[in-house]
């Protein structure tokens, strides 16, 4: 059985958040992971998207304290990939990807 890419990337991101002193974001994204596990896909995606944008958001307040450079780089890449995978699906989600 293939696991959903969002779930896989979110699980890996959670490991990095836990291991590199990001307890606030670990708790936040754990809630999203719990929603995914319960089959509540769209609420999980909304929860994820809620962390991005604005002052002190996940977009700009993420440090991976003590992580080796390659691990931090992986974490930042996962941050971007999780956001991309959280975008709405369907017709309107497709329009958003094209800037509408």
Q: Over the stretch 14-73, which tens digit does the pLDDT of each residue have?
A: 999 999 999 999 999 999 999 999 999 999 999 999 999 888 899 888 888 899 999 999
Domain ranges, ordered by start, for the chain: 5-87
Band the pLDDT of 79: cuts 50, 70, 90: very high
Whether residue 91 is predicted with pLDDT greater than 80 in this model: the reply is: no
Band the pLDDT of 90: cuts 50, 70, 90: low
**What are 79's two structure tokens?**
């941050």
Read off the pTM. 0.84
Distance separating alpha carbons of residues 31 and 11, to the nearest angstrom = 12
**What are 43's two structure tokens?**
């609420």
């Amino acid at each position: 059985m293939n696991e959903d890419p969002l779930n896989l990337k979110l699980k890996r991101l959670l490991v990095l958040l836990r291991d590199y002193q990001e307890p606030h974001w670990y708790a936040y994204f754990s809630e999203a992971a719990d929603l995914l596990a319960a089959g509540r896909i769209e609420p999980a995606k909304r929860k994820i998207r809620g962390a991005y944008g604005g002052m002190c958001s996940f977009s700009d307040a993420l440090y991976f304290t003590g992580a080796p450079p390659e691990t931090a780089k992986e974490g930042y890449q996962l941050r971007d990939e999780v956001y991309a995978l959280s975008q709405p699906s369907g017709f309107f989600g497709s329009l958003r990807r094209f800037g509408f």
